[in-house]
Amino acid sequence: MSTTYTGVKHSLSFWQIWNMCFGFFGIQFGWSLQMGNMSAIYEYLGASPEQIPGLWLAAPMTGLLVQPIIGYLSDRTWHPRLGRRRPFFLVGAILSSLTLFIMPNASVIWMAAGMLWILDSSINITMEPFRAFVADNLDEQQRPYGFAMQSMFIGLASFIAGYLPQKLVEWFGVSRDKAGGAIPQNIMLSFYIGGFVFLVAVLYTVFRSKEYPPSDLNWREKVKESNKGFGGGIKEITSSILQMPAQMKRLALVNFITWPGLFLMWFYYSTGVAAEIFGGDVKGNSELYTRGLEYANTTSAILNLVTFAFSFSLPFWVKKMGKKYTHTTCLLLGGLGLIAVNHIHEPAYLYVAMGLVGIAWASILSMPYSMLAGCLPADKMGIYMGVFNFFIVLPEIIASLFFGKIMNNFLHNDRLLAVQVGGCMLCIAALVCALVVKEKKD
């Protein structure tokens, strides 16, 4: 692209938006394998249910530390061939893929936890600039389509990754045995495949998409500024936090309430289904436990298939109801789905409950960012997307540090009751969204 960009964005074709967003397929493929299997990996290695939240602390802490810094640096980067955001896609993808190959070979809890810190840091290096990438390249009218396209790829990747461990057994005869290690072979091979898919998908976006040069006339000076060390970066990030636009504060509140509900689902849904619906035990009836995990992962795959399909309809619902009420409705449906999980005794009904969560997930992945992008200054898009992530990771940090005690002392280690609490959080977030978020008229 020409370096004489004047600030006017041209409408992009379907395939140009496809190329921009395809890397998210790989990111989510790896992320879904982690989210669907890490609690089980910890339990295979000997962790108890009340220890699980603390062992997940890597995800929010790395997001809190890495994303604002990467956002700041990517705002001030311009590579002649790779542009502004794509150098970070490339580095993060290589590191993430390597870690996905190493993760399932962990033999003790501390090793798995350490690898999770590295994996989440690497994924955040790749993921954070992707949100700004769409906002950079699309105008206000096309942004809902761009973020919906990301949701589509996230749903499709999560659907395939959720089914992968089970289908490796059914279609290719891969064993569920542990073969000398702590982790079943089908899960181990799934992580290897995830590492390959992650790298290939991100490389596709890196080499098949382009970026606008920065529209800020002083961008060359800002690039030089970023080479002076992190002191200026910390000052800039702090200043940005203090000067957050009002709409961003409203959306941050909604996110702060929304994401604990999702974390509780990720912490406990799969192991809860395995232990409390299938009656398995990681130490006793481990085969029944493994089958329960696989069933939970297939219902999660349906969740993500619904996300994939529903993402196509989001622009339609936005036109009918607006972004705010589309998001409100989707959050409410997802909350009802999670609440229902604790009242289900027949496993087949889990598909219905997770389908409702899939509708919410499609909106969570796109609507807040679509509403946010229009109120942010273009030269701070990366920083503010990173700062917005604070309101995802801070509630997870709180949950990781304190929910183990709640789980042990008040919920009596009932995993599916914890999932129901998560559903209540989504319903509260829906109410807050309806009351406080302002709808921007295009």
Largest pairwise CA distance in the chain: 67
C-alpha distances in Å from residue 275, one per residue of 49, 184, 292, 388: 11, 17, 7, 36
Residue-wise pLDDT for 193-209, tens only, equals: 999 999 999 999 999 98
Quick one: pLDDT band at residue 215, thresholds 50, 70, 90? Answer: low
- What pLDDT shows up at residue 4? 41
- From first CA to last CA, the distance across the chain in angstroms is 28
Model pTM score = 0.74
3-state SS, residue 79? strand
Which domains does the chain show, CATH number per domain? 18-209+241-436 (1.20.1250.20)
- Place 238 in a pLDDT band, splitting at 50, 70 and 90: confident
Task: For 205, list phi and psi in degrees, rounded to 5.
Answer: -65, -40
Highest mean pLDDT among 129-143, 201-215, 354-368: 354-368
Compute the 3-state secondary structure of the chain and give helix, strand, coil in percent, each to the nearest 5: 80, 0, 20
210: number of CA atoms within 13 Å, CB side? 13
Euclidean distance between CA atoms 199 and 238, whole angstroms: 33
Decide: 301 and 29 in contact? Cβ < 8 Å.
Answer: no
